[in-house]
Amino acid sequence: MRAPCLSLLIITPPNPHDAYRIWPVYGVLYAGCMLTHGDWDEFRQVRGMADKVGLWARFTAYDLVERGKSAINSGKYQRALELCEQAIATNPQSADAWFTLGWALLKLETRNEDAAAAFERAIALKPHNPWAWNNIGVLRHRAKQLDAALALDPELVPAWQTKADVLRTLGREAEAVEAERRASELDAIQQA
């Protein structure tokens, strides 16, 4: 039996009955054992080592967030919400988990303040996320957040479109028309 620390580095399975996969998680490689015939002692040792350095929680949260994104794309917003809440319980420092939770709440359309709070938490953890700033702007119709999104990514078409709606709501028609023009211009360039 190999030392467990080597199991985290193995790419080729030493035993044809074991399958190993490597996942990149925020710059960290994590090898997970999928044992088909079961050397569970080794698996527990590898998992224990991964727990000690925080890799197990990171991978688990990453997997839950990815499943949450798939649920959102399938229109299963409540399931996405559950998966994201599990991801946050596993790794509360995951900006992606907080962002995806906000996205699921935004899609549910009944918990806008909770969605805004989730996006704000995502921004606190990862300030350079233009989509999170855009979504807060959508929820709260604050031009300040939209300007922050556009400062991070001046070619973010949805932020320009939302800004046009917000400006129109505020009675600033000329600026709204200019924002719509910019959104259409960028959209045409990005579609080409």
The model's pLDDT over 38-72, given as tens digits with 9 standing for 90+, comes to 555 665 666 677 666 665 666 677 888 889 999 99
Looking at residue 90, its amino acid is T
Torsion of CA 136, 141, 147, 150, to 10 degrees: 60
Per-residue b/e over 156-190, b at no fewer than 16 CB within 10 Å?
bbbbbbbbbbbbeeeeeeebbeebbebbeebeeee
> Would 60-125 and 128-192 be classified into the same CATH topology?
yes
Q: What is the DSSP string of the chain?
A: ---HHHHTT--S-SSTTEEEEEEEETTEEEEEEEESS--HHHHHHHHHHHHHTTHHHHHHHHHHHHHHHHHHHTT-HHHHHHHHHHHHHH-TT-HHHHHHHHHHHHHHSS-HHHHHHHHHHHHHH-S--HHHHHHHHHHH--HHHHHHHHHH-TT-HHHHHHHHHHHHHTT-HHHHHHHHHHHHHHHHHHH-
Provide the pLDDT for residue 142: 63
pLDDT at 29 over 50: no
What ranges do the domains of the chain cover?
A: 1-53, 60-125, 128-192
Provide the pLDDT for residue 42: 64
Per-residue b/e over 107-133, b at no fewer than 16 CB within 10 Å?
beeeeeebbbbbbbbbbebeeebbbbb
Q: Which architecture characterizes domain 128-192 according to CATH?
A: Alpha Horseshoe (1.25)
Provide the pLDDT for residue 149: 84
141 to each of 27, 55, 133, how far by Cα in Å? 35, 38, 11
Write the pLDDT tens digit of every residue in 93-137: 989 999 999 999 988 877 777 888 999 999 999 999 898 888 887
Q: Which architecture characterizes domain 60-125 according to CATH?
A: Alpha Horseshoe (1.25)
Q: Measured between alpha carbons, how far is 161 from 180 in angstroms, rounded to an integer?
A: 6
Provide the pLDDT for residue 1: 42
Q: Which residue has the tokens 């709070």?
A: 117
Provide the pLDDT for residue 7: 34
Q: Measured between alpha carbons, how far is 148 from 123 in angstroms, rounded to an integer?
A: 11
- pTM score: 0.54
Beta bridge partners of 22: 31
Write the pLDDT tens digit of every residue in 133-189: 888 877 766 667 778 888 889 999 988 988 888 777 666 789 889 999 999 999 999
Provide the pLDDT for residue 25: 36
